Chain A
Amino acid sequence: MKLAKVIRWEFTQTIRSKQFLVMTVFIPAIIGVAVFAITLAMEGEVSTPSEPPPPFIIGLFLALILFIGAFISGVMTMYGVMKEKQSRVVEMMLSSVSAWDLMAGKVIGLGLAGLIQVIAWAATAYFVAGRFLPLSLASLSLAHWVTYPLYFCLGYLFIASIYATVGAAIKDIHSGGAIGLAGIVPYVPMMFAALIIQKPDSLLVRIAGFIPPFTPGVMLLRIGATPTISEGTKFVPAWEMGLSLLSLAVGTVLMMRFATKVFEVGMLMTGKSASLRELWRWGVRGS
């Protein structure tokens, strides 16, 4: 119950801000109108290929959007957590709600606001790309419509939780040190995107799909690439998706718990940042 109230507060406070309005409405609208005007002016000069792009494009596109969106909302979450500590409002909050409600409420509330932003940007990108490529969502099956959003949203929360942990552990933005690098771990699969798209059924890719920080990136690419490459297999086996989704869900909850514990210890120590060793001790032992 309290969690829902914290989520609503964090969400409404964020979407009411001017920056949010600019980033979510104005900039995408300006880009959309500009591209529309340019393509209209060049009518006939650019030949649009009639060949539809390969299906893995949607998966790659979603993975890219996920990582850009999760990065932006992750940084927002990190600042939110740091501000909570610095403004000292945290004592009043924690005398009203549990640290878990506060942390989870922040991650989910800011995540939802970020999701709206991501949808606005994705729609803009789809529109812009559609002016040059014969893109169509009709090629997506029901299975795509179910699995893409699941991986996307869970991956989104997982990445935001990592940033929340970083925010809970550091004193200010200049003193992140090694801990700040934690935020790039989920991005590793993107460096191997070509490999995953070419060999979506290789053992390495299949195993990586079960390891939470890599799951969202690997699986979004893999699902997009599977029908074209491997003959016979229409889709990634259901059990693999079920298991990887389960491990991602469990991983997300554990990551949020870890962030909560780091926050509980870190909020009383506003004067210092945690070292990697301390981070582990704060997050696991809670002291």
Chain B
Amino acid sequence: MNRSELLRVEGVSKTFESVRAVDDVSFCVERGEILGFLGPNGAGKTTTLRMILGILRPDRGEIRFGAAGPAPMAPKEHTGYLPEERGLYGDARVLDLLVYFGELKGLARADARDRAREWLGRFDLGDWSLKKIEKLSKGMQQKVQFIAAIVHRPQFVVLDEPFAGLDPVNQDLLKEVIHRLREDGAAVLLSSHQMNRVEELCDRIFLIHRGRRVLYGGLEEIKEAHGEHAVLLRFAGDGTSLRSIEGIADLRLGSGRAAFTLLPGTEPDALIRCLPETIEILALHVDRPPLHDLFIRTIEGGDA
């Protein structure tokens, strides 16, 4: 077992009625990393998360947490969960609710209060701590719920679509906080459909499709192994000469711009050397394909 590994999921399966929602899934999350947890709707993501968090019991498989032996779930005191379906007790006061959640996760009352106040300040909600939850805007409620998920400083944090419904300022604030959680040594599992966010934040990714693991590993390694380089070109002149370049595919030619991918074996260096001299290059962008494309290709490839 890796020393920095915090949570290991081994061969976990769950069947509802006759539908196998999660089928023999294994992965681990390390301390101080953010694991992107991806998959199309209905792939078994939420079911897997619920099993780890002890909301559902797996039919088979086990979960190891830290140095503890195999168990059907991670210990609730050390986990924090922001579910995708948001909801809080609307008639409760903000601070009371946060203290309650902190206490349920094992904090002493005074400690829970101090930490809740500190977090409310950080999220610019200090003036709202005595208001009822239902008086808050949707974005504010979302921030309160995020605080409720992490107020007890969990070692393992599950965030399901944490950015949904937040304005850009708060999205940046949240991003910063998630980075801080990682720096402080927490293991973060981030589930999201916003691929740009996943690319910004995650160290490794896990892709589940139809209850099974289809991709798992470091973000860069996966891109290297599965994605050809994507090229964006802006130019002046006659672009038709681009058609004669060898080793490229999927050429889409517009007026003054072109997009194509490099076939395996064609390196960016080779491409630059064989660009036609009949056009004047204004901008050239070569990169691995966005995770978005990789996601779609993997899911569609799996369906074929």
Contact = CB atoms under 8 A, between A and B. Distances in A.
A89 B180 CA distance: 26
A97 B87 contact: no
Interface string B64-79: 0000000000001001
Nearest to A97: B104
Interface stretch (B88-96, B183-191, B226-234): B88-96
Contact of B86 (A5, A6, A88): A88
A185 B244 CA distance: 85
B142 interface: no
A87 B91 contact: no
Highest count of chain A CB atoms <10 Å: which of B79, B87, B92: B87
B87 A2 contact: no
B216 interface: no
Interface in B230-258: none
A88 B87 contact: yes
A93 B56 CA distance: 13
Interface size class of B (residues with CB under 8 A): 20 to 34
Chain A contact residues: helix, strand, loop or mixed = helix
B104 A2 contact: yes
Contacts of B198: none
Given A92-B148, A95-B55, A13 B101 contact: no
B156 to A, nearest CB: 11
Interface residues of A, number: 18
A139 interface: no
B76 A87 contact: no
A147 to B, nearest CB: 36
B65 to A, nearest CB: 14
Contacts of A2: 104
B55 A17 contact: no
A89 B82 CA distance: 10
B85 A96 contact: no
B290 interface: no
20 contacts: A5-B103, A5-B104, A13-B92, A87-B90, A88-B83, A88-B85, A89-B87, A89-B89, A91-B55, A92-B83, A92-B101, A92-B145, A92-B148, A92-B149, A94-B53, A94-B54, A95-B76, A95-B80, A95-B81, A97-B76
Interface of A: 2, 5-6, 9, 13, 17, 87-97, 268
Interface of B: 50, 53-56, 76, 79-81, 83, 85-92, 100-101, 103-105, 145, 148-149
